[in-house]
């Protein structure tokens, strides 16, 4: 059994290899002048169970293609079974048709992965639960909530906050793990410019320490808007836990400069070196989740 990493997760792959029975096997990705990718894998993988670790993050299309090429290379090298371990899977937010003639991108990507030879897939925090149904192969949703428990300070005044309806189930899981009794939810809509607008708050946050729970921080509009509303409703301390720190555009600067948001806890599902030197962000390794999965399912 061997673990191969795309260019995004080599350090994480070595940690996982050290803590499991998987042998680390190196891969190399080269670029033609026009951006076309070419991958190669070291050593003999014929007859081996192969686990490909990848973060399908920015630049999304390049990372996705790298995953597909690695899977195809393993298939052609006669690997016994190919499992994709995805710390982040782009296109998960497009799990339904948003326009009359629009695609379901999450389903298309799942089909492409299967066509490349991937026979099992494990993804850190599905954006939506229905994504599992898009796969005709075994698909595992690896929950990250337990990673945050030892880092987030919880007390009797704590309340877990879901920033929108789609985050309610995630917030309940966090509340259960943190042993927090109180939860709150906000109603969120987006305007035609994709700007987040918070319409209402359900629950009591007055004199409470709020923990905003979400799977993705992208533009940062949601976390900033939610924090402002919570503060207006009397929240004391405001923290956030998010699995995937995409942080597009000015998101990092806007969140870092916010006097309302006290701390943001994220995983290393997306490699962002600038977070390591940022006092407001705390980066948590996702390795324990993958190690636990591999030790129990290999």
Q: What is the largest CA-CA distance in the chain?
A: 61
Angle in degrees, CA 265, 127, 246, rounded to 5: 45
What are the residues whose beta carbons fall under 8 Å from the beta carbon of 253, sequence distance 6 or more?
Answer: none
Count other Cβ atoms within 10 Å, centred on residue 213.
Answer: 27
What share of residues in the chain are helix, strand, coil (percent, to 5)? Answer: 30, 30, 40
Q: In whole angstroms, what is the distance from residue 152 CA to residue 101 CA? A: 44
SS3 at position 134: helix
Of the candidates 2, 188, 237, 298, the residue annotated as catalytic is: 188
Report yes or no: 245 and 273 within 8 Å, Cβ to Cβ. no
Single out the residue of 6, 10, 5, 58 nearest to residue 216, CA to CA.
58
- 188 classed as catalytic: yes
Q: In whole angstroms, what is the distance from residue 289 CA to residue 292 CA? A: 5
**In what helix (H) or strand (E) does residue 124 lie, and over which residues does it extend?**
strand 120-124
- DSSP-derived pairing of the beta strands 23-25 and 158-162: unpaired
The catalytic site residues sit at 188
């Amino acid at each position: 059994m061997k673990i191969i990493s795309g260019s995004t997760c080599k350090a994480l792959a070595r940690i996982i290899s050290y803590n499991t029975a998987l042998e680390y096997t190196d891969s190399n990705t080269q670029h033609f002048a026009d951006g076309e990718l070419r991958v190669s894998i070291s050593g003999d993988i014929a007859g081996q169970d192969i686990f490909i670790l990848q973060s399908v993050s920015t630049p999304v299309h390049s990372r996705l293609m790298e995953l597909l090429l690695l899977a195809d290379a393993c298939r052609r090298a006669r690997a016994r079974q190919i499992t994709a371990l995805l710390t982040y899977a782009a296109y998960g937010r497009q799990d339904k048709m948003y326009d009359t003639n629009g695609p379901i991108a999450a389903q298309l990507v799942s089909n492409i992965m299967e066509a490349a030879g991937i026979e099992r897939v494990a993804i850190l925090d599905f954006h939506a639960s229905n994504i599992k149904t898009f796969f005709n192969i075994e698909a595992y949703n690896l929950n990250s909530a337990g990673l945050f428990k030892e880092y987030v300070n919880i007390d009797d005044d704590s309340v877990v906050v879901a920033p929108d309806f789609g985050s309610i189930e995630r917030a309940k899981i966090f509340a259960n793990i943190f042993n927090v009794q109180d939860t709150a939810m906000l109603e969120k809509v987006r305007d035609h410019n994709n700007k987040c607008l918070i319409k209402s708050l359900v629950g009591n946050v007055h004199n409470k320490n709020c923990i905003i729970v979400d799977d993705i921080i992208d533009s940062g509009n949601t976390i900033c808007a939610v924090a402002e509303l919570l503060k207006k409703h009397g929240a004391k301390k405001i923290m956030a836990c998010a699995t995937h720190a995409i942080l597009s555009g000015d998101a990092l600067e806007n969140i870092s400069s916010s006097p309302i948001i006290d701390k943001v806890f994220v995983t290393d599902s997306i490699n962002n070196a600038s977070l390591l030197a940022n006092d407001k962000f705390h980066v948590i390794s996702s390795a324990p989740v993958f190690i636990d999965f591999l030790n129990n399912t290999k």
